[in-house]
Amino acid sequence: MASISANSEADRLAQLKAFDATKAGVKGLVDAGVREIPPIFYTPPDIMDNNKSSDDKKFTFPVIDLEGTATDPAKRKEIVEKVRDASSTWGFFQVLNHGVPLNVLEEMKAGVKRFYEQDLDEKTKFFSRDYSTNMMVGTICYEHFEQQLQTIYREILMEYSKEMVKMGYLIIELLSEALGLDPNYLRNKDYHVGGLQVLHQDQWVDITPLPGSLVINIGDLLQVIC
């Protein structure tokens, strides 16, 4: 049984690698006229047996209406309580009246569709498994990749990103209040607060924040060269 399971997993990995190598994605399968869902898209039986869905009727997923958050203190307090409850019991929640225009959401979906409707050659220009070449790490970095985006979705992606940032700030405010803190507590960067340490001669050394100063990290490679 163990041998069969191992072979099955090996076959699955081989199929996944072959699928990934096409760089065409699921859209490529559809365009090729596939009539059956490939086995790699099915959850293995052993995982299915251990993760059977519960009766959805037993649960009600939290939906929070943000209407009045900025104008009605009493309503905001009620919303904060709902955020606290949903965060502590689910870790997820849906929001309505969040301030993001519906046309932005719809146009964002349309922009994604326009990208995937392109010829494969155009799409593969953006395909890479080397995350050091096609991924930026940051909290708000949309302004840095504007010129790298295609015109068919550049404008809407930039607008969508800005709307998500605004909504994110609101959620952070509500979470701060749910914790009994000032609304801007989690949003503040608190650069003046210590805590950063560097490893020097096998010892972790505190870096004391100095007003107006910047901490420069040259990285391991440059340190070796120097």
Condensed to tens digits (0 to 9), the pLDDT of residues 162-209 reads: 999 999 999 999 999 999 999 998 888 676 777 888 888 889 999 888
Structure tokens at 226: 């120097």
Task: Specify if 196 maps to a domain.
Answer: no
pLDDT in the model for residue 54: 59
Task: Specify if 21 maps to a domain.
Answer: yes
The angle at the Cα of 221, spanning 215 to 225, to the nearest 5 degrees, equals 100
Here the CATH number for the domain that contains residue 157 is 2.60.120.330
Structure tokens at 140: 């708000």
Task: Specify if 192 maps to a domain.
Answer: no
Q: What is the extent of the structural domain holding 39?
A: 2-50
Same domain assignment for residues 71 and 166: yes
Task: Specify if 97 maps to a domain.
Answer: yes
Same domain assignment for residues 115 and 145: yes
Task: Specify if 160 maps to a domain.
Answer: yes
- CA 212 to chain CA centroid, Å, is 33
What is the distance between the alpha carbons of residues 82 and 142, in angstroms, rounded to a whole number? 31
Task: Specify if 207 maps to a domain.
Answer: no
Task: Specify if 129 maps to a domain.
Answer: yes
Structure tokens at 190: 């608190």
Residue 104 · residue 156 · CB < 8 Å: yes
Residue 29 · residue 38 · CB < 8 Å: yes
155 vs 131: which has the higher pLDDT = 155
Same domain assignment for residues 69 and 140: yes
Backbone torsions φ then ψ of 150, nearest 5 degrees: -75, 150
Same domain assignment for residues 8 and 84: no
What's the pLDDT tens digit per position in 2-57?
Answer: 444 556 778 888 888 888 888 888 888 888 898 988 888 887 777 776 666 656 67
Number of domains in the chain: 2
Same domain assignment for residues 74 and 101: yes
Reduced to 3 states, what is the DSSP secondary structure of residue 84?
helix
